[in-house]
Amino acid sequence: MIQASVSAFNSQNWDALSGLYCAAKQAGFSVGQMQESYNESAPIRIAVKAVTIANDQAFVPIVLTDRNGAASMVWNMVRENGWKICGGG
């Protein structure tokens, strides 16, 4: 699922990317913001460091590498009709 989000972002498939987001994140989804982020950083790569699951939430520490360098962050995911990205950074 995380690799699917990378593929969707790198190919500018905003519909596919939005479908990987939880309902709350979809509500704030903006194609314009995604396009701006793409223009500033693509292509991206993500390395997953671990996954911690607690009931219907997961915490995924990652290293995101883009043309500007690498950054460590934690993505928050929720189980909503499958696992969805819901925040982090």
CATH code assigned at 6: 3.10.450.50
Joined together, the tokens standing for residue 12 give 């500018």
Domain extent for 69 = 1-88
pLDDT digits (tens, 9 = 90+) for 26-85: 898 899 999 999 999 999 999 999 999 999 999 999 999 999 999 999 999 999 999 999
User: What is the pTM for the complete model shown?
Assistant: 0.88
Instruction: Flag whether pLDDT at 1 surpasses 90.
Output: no
CA dihedral over 49, 5, 45, 32, signed as positive or negative: negative
- Number of domains the chain contains: 1
